[in-house]
Amino acid sequence: MKPDAVRGHLDGLILAVLEDGPRHGYAIIEALQARSGGRLDLPTGTVYPALRRLERAALLSGSWSTVGGRERRTYTLTRAGRHALAGQRADWTEFSTVVEAVLRPAAGMS
Amino acid sequence: MKPDAVRGHLDGLILAVLEDGPRHGYAIIEALQARSGGRLDLPTGTVYPALRRLERAALLSGSWSTVGGRERRTYTLTRAGRHALAGQRADWTEFSTVVEAVLRPAAGMS
DNA sequence: CGCTATATGTAGATAGCCTACTTATGAATC
DNA sequence: GATTCATAAGTAGGCTATCTACATATAGCG
């Protein structure tokens, strides 16, 4: 999949992964891969800044911890984040409906 | 619908509209509105440059004509454009599958 | 004469994602 | 003991598609 395609939808994808419970960045990237059947392989340079952005927007709260000698920043969905996720899901439904209505071949051409 | 959401998918939408036959820019914008049930209202500053871009990429061919005293630039799908449209449709299918797999709430939480 | 619809376009700004690079530890391999 | 891989988190700089706002022009209506 061409990488740029997630543009505008990345936030929703990250929020959705965190709905299952807190995760750190690296684990979020792996969860995205797993859920997409390996088709979504986002570089760290995309995900980490996005997490910071979502934290600044108060949709996530992050906290440092040390696990096995390694620094981790674990992110948790805030209440606002949960609300934003619901909005993102609604946006996606509308968006995909619109795209399919336009993209689908014109009806009934023999 | 937030306008920026079509990013990365606009080309496919335009190509799909032109599959029905040649149209000029203004008519393309109207067709997009019509097919989307009014939810997709793209500004001219988005569509006209996109048409030029698609023409440069040889996916469309454009030609001037005068209708009712007004200048029109009518665009037609090229063979390459038809091919690109098929690719865009395949891309969309994969993309929407991936997004839905990630965005959909985790399965079977009681 | 002015307003609206039709019709095409440009200029400049924004922002999100990418590529490439940096830093660091633990575990496995040679 | 040295190298390499997996884990873990970031920054810097660039790209480019889309947006906002503006500019231009004709036809038709009141």
Q: How confident is the model over B3-47, as pLDDT tens digits?
A: 678 999 999 999 999 999 999 999 999 999 999 999 999 999 999
Residue A56 CB lies within 7 Å of the nucleic strand D: no
Cut 0.95: pTM above it: no
Q: From CA B94, how far away is CA A2, in angstroms rounded?
A: 10
Q: Does B4 touch chain A (CB under 8 A)?
A: yes
- A82/B contact by beta carbon, under 8 A: no
- Hey, what are B11's tokens? 């080309």
Is it the case that residue A108 has pLDDT exceeding 70? Answer: no
Would you kindly state where each structural domain of chain A is located, as residue ranges? 3-90
Q: Determine, for residues A103 and B5 on separate chains, whether the beta-carbon distance falls below 8 Å.
A: no
Q: How far is CA B50 from CA A44, B92, B102, in A?
A: 31, 19, 30
Q: Do B98 and A36 count as a contact with CB atoms less than 8 A apart?
A: yes
* Candidate CATH numbers 3.40.50.150, 3.90.1150.10, 1.10.10.10, 1.20.1260.10; the one for domain B3-90: 1.10.10.10
DSSP string, B42-91: --HHHHHHHHHHHHHTTSEEEEEEEETTEEEEEEEE-HHHHHHHHHHHHH
For residue A6, what is the DSSP state? G
d(CA A101, CA B32): 10
